Amino acid sequence: MNSDFESGIWNIFNLKFYRMRSLLYLIAVIVIIGWIIGFFVYSIGAIIHFLLVVAAISILLAVIRRA
């Protein structure tokens, strides 16, 4: 009877450990995805400025061609 009680406790412990481990994996994945997004957004900053300059030039050319 004692072994049934101990096996029940170990099953509960294993279930809690499995849930905690999956939660830690989820947190790790979220942190890694956030780091990747932060890295690429920071490096894309210069490209966004370049695209704004290209858009401004194309608008100026469209206005000049209509005049």
The total number of structural domains that make up the chain:
1
Q: Each residue of 12-57: pLDDT tens digit?
A: 666 666 666 677 788 888 888 888 887 777 766 777 788 788 888 8
Q: What is the DSSP string of 6-58?
A: HHHHHHHHHHHHHHHHHHHHHHHHHHHHHHHHHHHHHHHHHHHHHHHHHHHHH
Q: Is the pLDDT of residue 10 over 70?
A: no
Q: In whole angstroms, what is the distance from residue 28 CA to residue 36 CA?
A: 12
Top pLDDT among 10 and 50 is at 50
Q: Is the pLDDT of residue 64 over 80?
A: yes
Domain containing residue 53: 1-67
Predicted pLDDT at 25:
80
